[in-house]
Amino acid sequence: MSETDFLLEITDMSLEKNQQNYETIFSLSNGYLGTRGSKEEDFILNKKADQGTFVNGFYESEPIVYGEAAYGYAKDSQTIARVPNAKQFMFSFNGTPFSKGKISNEHHYLDMKKGILCRSFTWVSQKDEVVEVKTERFVSMTNKHFLFNQYEVTPVTHSGLFEFHGEFTTNDRVLEEDDDPRKAKSMAHLLTTQVLLGEEQEPYLETRTSHSGLCMMSSLTLSTDQEKILPRTQSTSTGYHYDFEVEVAKDNSYAVRQQVYYGESYETEFLDYLSEKAAHEAYWLDFWEMSDIQIEGDPTLQKGIRHNLFHLNQAAGRDGKTNISAKGITSDGYEGHYFWDTEMYMIPFFIYTQPEVAKKLLMYRYSILNNAKKRAEELGISSGVLFPWRTINGEECSAYYPAGTAQVHINGDISYAIQTYVDVTGDTQFMEEYGAEMMVEIARFWLSFGAFNQDEFMINGVTGPDEYTALVNNNFYTNKLAKYNLECVVNLIQESPYLQERLAIQQDEIEKWALAAKLMRLPYDKERGLTLQDDGMVYRQVWPFKTTPKEKYPLLLHYHPMMIYKHQVNKQADTVLSQYLFEGDFTREQLARDYAYYESITTHDSSLSRSIFGIVGTRINEVEKAYDYFMDTVSMDLDDVQGNTIDGIHAANLGGMWLGLVKGFGGVTIQDKELHISPVLPDKWQSLTFCIKYQSRVIRVFVSHKEVRVTLVSGEKITLAINKQSVILESGLVITL
């Protein structure tokens, strides 16, 4: 693979729709700290730019004001807060301000192989003085508190004086009045940023939230060639401005480096830029070694795949105290909240490639188990836990309960992810110490929230994944996951008397769990042979798709929820999602029938939908359809498929893309605790190559139209199934198709 296969240039994107999409697409983050890809000079030249910098989990809250409150509604909002932005930087040359010059030859690209955002351009003053400018930026993957930016100028026609001006301030986003629930509201008015002086009288900033009681320290160290630059500074209400000058002779270069720190305490360490950069680049090279997915046959698509993998990796909190927000750390869209997106869409990538990160993500859930316990109590649920639908700090902050708290499937999603993590990694210690407790509390929830009724176990008054259908009885997806959780817990406890004792489980509890699992209601229409999304589905009319104009999508922005809820119309995969998860429980014919029906009523207004329709398409021989869905998932942000890339990347969809490649086309599944690989290659590709980690082994899979080559890269031999044929993998195996 050549280096250029990892370079994403601004010309690769369709930017006509929205100039600011590049800020999202070029965002850099490391799971802790994230900054949008705005240009240094945007703070003067492009007032609409969103230059946001964020720290995962650093949020402000406010009491939610309800017109008509009711018992048990979420009390406080939580919104990821903007931290001071150090990228704002520009120069004047021999008295000509930057804004009066002309820019040409601009190249703006992301080097995904090394994790560096680069830019180069020529600036020409009104007096025809030419300055070449080069910038590079990275958010360190090896030193999570730091972001680095380098701004290099080379005067090529005249020697002269550069006057540099920069700002280190908390700047707000320019918000237009909008009803779009996916956008964040501004919290800037609740933040206070104070300039303080450090040991050597160098300024640093302390940003405090008013209600959530959090404090973020940040500092900016300027240097050139390892010499600190000490500029003149001037405090403002949100940070400080600074200026300094330097004479640069013609054809000489001068590079200003910014080392920007964010953390809970004041940090003075002055780091060596080049060694920090080298360590960061080495991290990314290692990442690609394990996690790159290669396709032969479509170089543009290849770049898109890498871009999505790059962002997915950047998005994940890795400290056990934070998670992955719906927009990663690229924006405050969806307010920086963590949803089920992590467990059902993103965590599989980490489970199969970086299990240590997956474990931290699950540890985050463990860290909020007490909140989940309290939330269940608050709702009057006598036993068990209810995890929050949307949260940062562990408390429920979804203000609209029909599409929030009512999505109790979040419990089943978390349990499913724990079981998958343990099945794939073999980390039974995690299960014993943390996983089992969460799963047992979730099992307790079903029993106290649901009820036995006429020989069935029912879970009523809930909302499934499809947010265009709310507050229904027996959502198929929810019940299927509840059943799986109960079955897993029964097995686990029967195998471990130790856990039974530690988690104070009564024998009759186990019996009830087993019975509820056995009698779980899974709605089905025998006459039509159709799996039903919920009990009431048959009574709802199909949405008038034929008479709905294109501009009325997404429906959520144009119709009152009541109008949507009374129809059969899906925002996203719901029943089909459960069929991807539990494929083995359905015949091929059943899958095909349900797929055709649900596809006909799904708008894909949610970005979490297409990837799943793509995967299930591969299972029912609809490979072309699967391919089209897959293409949309790859280009979702690059081509602004959902029309809101400006508000941040669609993180769940990034995970969905990985699922599409590895689980869909790659055909990787775990069946009866055994690894299965049954690939399906789209006609348009010559080959597909990926690696997975499975129970302390690294396995590489290469699929072409002639063969499947599976290689044990490291670890002990293992029995697995390739195209349903049981084989022992010792080193390498080639199965000819």
Kindly tell me which of 146 and 477 has the beta carbon lying closer to ligand BGC.
Answer: 477
**CA nearest neighbour of 370 among 391, 355, 350, 401:** 391
Distances (CA, A) of 102 to 15, 20, 106, 130, 581: 21, 20, 11, 10, 55
* Closest distance of CB 253 from ligand BGC, Å: 44
Helix ranges, 331-435 (H): 341, 347-353, 355-367, 369-378, 409-425, 428-430
Kindly tell me which of 493 and 555 has the beta carbon lying closer to ligand BGC.
Answer: 555
* Closest distance of CB 612 from ligand BGC, Å: 11
Residue 378, both tokens: 């608050």
For residue 103, the surrounding DSSP H or E stretch is strand 102-111
What letter would DSSP give residue 68?
S
Kindly tell me which of 207 and 398 has the beta carbon lying closer to ligand BGC.
Answer: 398
Does residue 206 carry a catalytic annotation?
no
Name beta bridge partners: 120: 107, 134
What letter would DSSP give residue 271?
P
Task: Please return the burial class of 498, using the count of CB atoms within 10 Å of its CB with bins 0-12, 13-18 and 19+.
Answer: exposed
* Closest distance of CB 568 from ligand BGC, Å: 17
Sign of the torsion formed by the C-alpha atoms of 697, 702, 707 and 709: negative
* Closest distance of CB 408 from ligand BGC, Å: 14
Kindly tell me which of 231 and 465 has the beta carbon lying closer to ligand BGC.
Answer: 465
Kindly tell me which of 54 and 339 has the beta carbon lying closer to ligand BGC.
Answer: 339
Q: 592 φ, ψ to 5°?
A: -65, -40
What letter would DSSP give residue 342?
I
What is the CA angle 659-7-627, rounded to 5? 30
Kindly tell me which of 61 and 572 has the beta carbon lying closer to ligand BGC.
Answer: 572
| Cβ atoms within 10 Å of 162's Cβ, excluding its own | 18
Kindly tell me which of 609 and 635 has the beta carbon lying closer to ligand BGC.
Answer: 609
Rounded-to-integer distance, Cα 25 and Cα 636, Å: 11
The answer to whether 605 and 572 have CB atoms below 8 angstroms apart is yes
Rounded-to-integer distance, Cα 414 and Cα 435, Å: 10
The answer to whether 63 and 74 have CB atoms below 8 angstroms apart is no
3-class state of residue 288 by DSSP = helix
Rounded-to-integer distance, Cα 136 and Cα 141, Å: 15
Rounded-to-integer distance, Cα 288 and Cα 113, Å: 7
Q: 269 φ, ψ to 5°?
A: -55, 130
Kindly tell me which of 419 and 570 has the beta carbon lying closer to ligand BGC.
Answer: 570
Kindly tell me which of 153 and 326 has the beta carbon lying closer to ligand BGC.
Answer: 326
Kindly tell me which of 301 and 471 has the beta carbon lying closer to ligand BGC.
Answer: 471
Q: How would you classify the pairing of strands 697-704 and 707-714? A: antiparallel
SS3 annotation, 556-613: HHCCCHHHHHCEECECCCCHHHHHHHCHHHCCHHHHHHHHHHHHHCECCCCCCCHHHH
Kindly tell me which of 150 and 533 has the beta carbon lying closer to ligand BGC.
Answer: 533
**CA nearest neighbour of 251 among 124, 165, 130:** 130
Residue 185, both tokens: 């509201």
Rounded-to-integer distance, Cα 458 and Cα 479, Å: 8
* Closest distance of CB 633 from ligand BGC, Å: 14
Spatial strand order in the sheet of 239-248: 96-97, 85-93, 160-169, 239-248, 232-236
Name beta bridge partners: 192: 208
Kindly tell me which of 97 and 402 has the beta carbon lying closer to ligand BGC.
Answer: 402
Rounded-to-integer distance, Cα 681 and Cα 664, Å: 9
Rounded-to-integer distance, Cα 3 and Cα 114, Å: 10
The answer to whether 712 and 718 have CB atoms below 8 angstroms apart is yes
**CA nearest neighbour of 56 among 306, 264, 238:** 264
* Closest distance of CB 334 from ligand BGC, Å: 5
* Closest distance of CB 468 from ligand BGC, Å: 9
* Closest distance of CB 340 from ligand BGC, Å: 6
Helix ranges, 16-161 (H): 21-25, 42-45
Kindly tell me which of 42 and 605 has the beta carbon lying closer to ligand BGC.
Answer: 605
- Using CB under 6 A, list all residues that contact ligand BGC: 326, 334, 339-341, 465, 467, 571-572, 606, 608, 652
Choice among 41, 467, 487, 509 that is catalytic: 467
The answer to whether 117 and 136 have CB atoms below 8 angstroms apart is yes
Rounded to 10 degrees, the C-alpha dihedral 99/105/108/112 comes to -150
What letter would DSSP give residue 157?
S
Rounded-to-integer distance, Cα 52 and Cα 59, Å: 14
Residue 61, both tokens: 């809250």
CA of residue 580 relative to chain centroid, distance: 20
The answer to whether 298 and 312 have CB atoms below 8 angstroms apart is no
Catalytic residues: 467
